[in-house]
Amino acid sequence: MAINKFLFHAGRKFRILVSVMIEYPKEFIKMLKKANSVAVLTGAGISAESGVPTFRGKDGIWKNFSAEELATVDAFMNNPERVWEWYLWRRQVMSGVSPNPGHKALAEMEKLFDDFTLITQNVDGLHRQAGSNSILELHGNISLNKCLECSRPFAGEISLERGELPKCECGGKIRPDVVWFGEMLPRDIINKAFMASERAELFFSIGTSALVHPAASLPVTARQSGAYLVEVNLDPTPLSGFADLAIHGKAGEILPGIVKLINELRDEPKK
């Protein structure tokens, strides 16, 4: 980083040369230049810098709350009020946050490649708020509701104060439109995610512990199908040793640098 700051004053071409040669492997630079098809998988880590808690790790949600009691169909059947109380709290947390430079960099990156797919496990809607369009929300969206029985969307308000939770026209209970443990992911979305991973020449796995399947299989599928696999994460994960390049640091600091580098590489005169 010190080198970059110093070179900031040393003229554009020299800066490019140094970032190319010192900061990233040649193969990665080559892929940034030539890839047409790019897929990205994000997890809770990309929203951490916006103030959304992650699930695992020291201060992770699952350290303080029980997934079995809050994020399963059984939990909802047993105590819908308790599950809703938790989701309404999470909605409140998420309503007060904004996209960070990591989300914004991915929205920029989308414009730089012909075929770009952003696959997210996050339910916070921050990628859309940042301006991304090509998004596959694998685990749903916390701001939406649906019927437990017929899956029809429900746009009405959910309030625990009124005593009784709303019901669908079919009589089913209304639940958050997220994927709970033990549930299948929406078939069309996960199929599209696997197709994007198979055709990707460059795949980024960002801010995910890479533990929860099927999402965790996507980077593996991508690499086995020939993609150059890059991980961006604060800490090593089970994917790190399998990736072609593992970059350890904050997504909100690393991704803007990568987007800047892509732009610089495109501005370079062709030889």
Nearer to ligand APR, 20 or 257 (CB): 257
Looking at beta carbons, which residue is closest to ligand APR?
45
Separation CA 99–CA 9 (nearest Å): 30
Is residue 45 within the footprint of ligand APR (CB under 6 A)?
yes
Nearer to ligand APR, 49 or 108 (CB): 49
Nearer to ligand APR, 48 or 168 (CB): 48
Strand partners, 173: 167
Q: How far is the CB of 250 from ligand APR (least distance, A)?
A: 4
At what angle are helices 251-267 and 26-34 packed, to 10 degrees? 70
Separation CA 77–CA 84 (nearest Å): 11
Separation CA 109–CA 30 (nearest Å): 16
Residue identified by tokens 């958050």 is 176
Contacts of ligand APR in 126-165 (CB under 6 A): 139
CA 111, distance to chain mean position in Å, is 17
Burial annotation 150-172 (CB, 10 A radius, 16+ → b, else e): eeeebeeebeeeeeeeeebeeeb
Which residues have a catalytic role annotated?
Answer: 139
Residue from 24, 28, 55, 203 in contact with ligand APR (CB under 6 A): 55
Q: How far is the CB of 254 from ligand APR (least distance, A)?
A: 8
Q: Are 4 and 19 in contact (CB under 8 A)?
A: yes
Is residue 87 within the footprint of ligand APR (CB under 6 A)?
no
Nearer to ligand APR, 139 or 175 (CB): 139
226: its two tokens: 């020939």
Nearer to ligand APR, 7 or 97 (CB): 97
CB count in 10 Å sphere of residue 184:
8
Which helix (H) or strand (E) is 217 found in, with range? helix 217-224
Residue 200-239 contact track with ligand APR, rule CB under 6 A, x = bound: -------xxx-xx-------------------xxxx-x--
Is residue 44 within the footprint of ligand APR (CB under 6 A)?
yes
Q: How far is the CB of 72 from ligand APR (least distance, A)?
A: 11
Q: How many residues does the chain have?
A: 271
Which range of residues in 18-26, 48-56, 86-94, 154-162 is near ligand APR by CB under 6 A? 48-56
Interface residues toward ligand APR, by CB under 6 A: 43-45, 48-49, 54-57, 60, 121, 139, 207-209, 211-212, 232-235, 237, 250-251
